[in-house]
Structure 1
Amino acid sequence: MRALVIDDEPVARLEMRRLLKSHPQIEVVGEAENAGTALDLIAELGPDLLFLDIQMPGTNGFELLDSIPLPVPRIIFCTAYDAHALRAFEVNAIDYLLKPVDPARLSQALLRLAPKAGTALPAEAPPEEPLLESDRVLLKNESRSWLAPVRSIWLLTADGNYTHVHFDGHKVLLNRSLQSLERRLPKSLFFRVSRSQIVNLKSVVEVGESYSGGMRLILAGGTEISISRRQATVFRKQKEL
């Protein structure tokens, strides 16, 4: 995996590079000392993984995440403070490491990047082939299988490197990241509303504004989905006359 280290402290960036030398599956392709440099490098290098500090001068780590175009790389937070741990996992971070980073904890975090053996079933192959609205896909759990129309999928929700797929009153857990599934889904039908959710636009029955500048989508059946301010702007540009 191609990684970018984002931290305002040069010593912290150097230490992370040193620790990652023991993990040849991770290639550090660059480092940034602030959010502006990080955004430029993300656009230029396309990293798969960010080692991200939270407390930085100017724009902090969470604010940086709100500025990164979707799909956002995987995130491992590295910070000297534990006060933001809950919020870190709310934005679907892989892990939250406290400085100075313990080598064993880093190894544990990197293990979370790999699929968990025996806990989920793979999605239909080949993953590179784009799907059409008229296609059917094989979705299955441990006891049952469905050949479900793509248009019947109304919500996809990330769970780490896994994705819950909701369709026709059922839900299955796939051993696939939301990002990889997004590449297959028809863009005319599905919209990435946040880092952790994709909705079927045909399942939307009501659209409302939120106090934060984002939007609320009410889906058939009553499920309410929040759209961030940034994605609400994208949504309006695509859907307004």
Structure 2
Amino acid sequence: MNPTLRILIADDELVARKRLTRLLAAFPDVTVCGEAADGEAVLEQVRAGGVDVVLLDIHMPGLSGMDALALLPAGGPQVIFVTAHADHAVEAFEHGAVDYVLKPVEASRLQKALERVRARLASRTPEPAKGPATEQAARPLARLPIPTRQGIVLVDPGTISHATLEDELVTVFTTQGDFLTDFTLQELVDRLPTEGFYRVHRRALLNLAHVTRLEPLETGGYLARTARGHTVEVSRQSARELRRMLGLRRGTEEDPGA
């Protein structure tokens, strides 16, 4: 028996939310845990917990679906875009979306998307070991294996300051050095601890523990400076989320390392 998937439906149109609720009611091992009419409400409900999957529209008031996806915490819920707009699919998959379903939604297509979610979740959840080693095997790995062209490098997640995507390749920056990897940014998000790591840009992942200063940009975003002297751009939407998390008013300049 499959574990129940707790699904948040996010669409600014009530009719669209009702249709998805009706379709999901026919599926076993699925429950609708909430609805959201905009991106801000999505983030609030995800922060509250109890969400495994978000069915996310692209165009919504305030934060768009793509903006909301970029602001979801590392290791957060899986995202299936449900939209009438086909032109954002490449960007959605680049951000780590599981699937991209076009409206009008058919039950068979939605079921296929949920099967993909279950497959991804199964690949992230190892089967429990049997025998005396069970307790040890259940513990998370203390070091993250990062595949590089020179072999697999075992890295303490706490030493990772940030990771960036350039020319379709990801570089992981650590206190021990920098590593070019075949991982995508979303694969790193899926494997890293949920606390401290934030997708601050569609091309950047940041560990706040290594940030010494956030410098405001004219765009409304920030330029994050790390202890090693690197800079990471924080998008306008991510900057808004960081200000909320750090308890800062808009325009306030604070050093998170102070």
TM-score normalised by the shorter chain: which range applies?
0.5 to 0.7
* Residue 233 of structure 2 is aligned to residue 226 of structure 1: yes
1:100 is matched with 104
* Residue 204 of structure 2 is aligned to residue 194 of structure 1: no
1:139 is matched with 145
Q: Please, which runs of 5 or more residues in structure 2 have no aligned partner?
A: 127-135, 247-252
- The answer to whether the 8 Å contact 2:7/2:33 transfers is yes
Code of the residue aligned with 1:197 in structure 2: it is L
For 2:47 and 2:154, locate their aligned partners in 1 and report how far apart those are by CA, in whole Å.
38
> Which protein has greater RCO, CA pairs closer than 8 Å, 6+ apart?
2
* Residue 256 of structure 2 is aligned to residue 239 of structure 1: yes
Paired residues for 1:44-193 under 5 Å:
44=48, 46-56=50-60, 58-59=61-62, 61-62=64-65, 65=68, 70=73, 73-89=77-93, 91-113=95-117, 114-115=119-120, 126=138, 137=143, 139=145, 141=147, 144-156=151-163, 167=174, 168-170=177-179, 171=181, 173=183, 178=189, 181-183=192-194, 187=196, 191-193=197-199
The total of aligned residue pairs comes to 222
Cα deviation digits, residues 124-171 of structure 1 (max 9, x gap): 954558xxxxxx62626499454444454343579xxxx986553433
Q: Residues 150 and 82 from structure 1, CA distance in 2 versus in 1: closer, same or farther, beyond 3 angstroms?
A: closer
Q: Residues 237 and 63 from structure 1, CA distance in 2 versus in 1: closer, same or farther, beyond 3 angstroms?
A: farther
2:133 is matched with none
Q: Residues 151 and 110 from structure 1, CA distance in 2 versus in 1: closer, same or farther, beyond 3 angstroms?
A: same
Pick the structure with more helix per residue: 2
**Aligned-CA RMSD value:** 4.7
- The answer to whether the 8 Å contact 1:156/1:166 transfers is yes
Q: Residues 100 and 216 from structure 1, CA distance in 2 versus in 1: closer, same or farther, beyond 3 angstroms?
A: same
For 1:34 and 1:208, locate their aligned partners in 2 and report how far apart those are by CA, in whole Å.
28
Paired residue secondary structure (1:51): strand
Q: Residues 32 and 218 from structure 1, CA distance in 2 versus in 1: closer, same or farther, beyond 3 angstroms?
A: closer
TM-score (norm 2): 0.59
For 1:82 and 1:106, locate their aligned partners in 2 and report how far apart those are by CA, in whole Å.
16
> Shift of residue 51 of structure 1?
1.0
> Shift of residue 49 of structure 1?
1.7
1:133 is matched with none
> Shift of residue 39 of structure 1?
5.7
Q: Residues 215 and 127 from structure 1, CA distance in 2 versus in 1: closer, same or farther, beyond 3 angstroms?
A: farther
For 2:187 and 2:101, locate their aligned partners in 1 and report how far apart those are by CA, in whole Å.
24
- The answer to whether the 8 Å contact 1:77/1:97 transfers is yes
Identity of aligned residues (%): 29
2:6 is matched with 2
Q: Residues 237 and 102 from structure 1, CA distance in 2 versus in 1: closer, same or farther, beyond 3 angstroms?
A: farther
Q: Residues 149 and 92 from structure 1, CA distance in 2 versus in 1: closer, same or farther, beyond 3 angstroms?
A: closer
* Residue 216 of structure 2 is aligned to residue 212 of structure 1: no
For 2:48 and 2:158, locate their aligned partners in 1 and report how far apart those are by CA, in whole Å.
35
For 2:70 and 2:182, locate their aligned partners in 1 and report how far apart those are by CA, in whole Å.
31
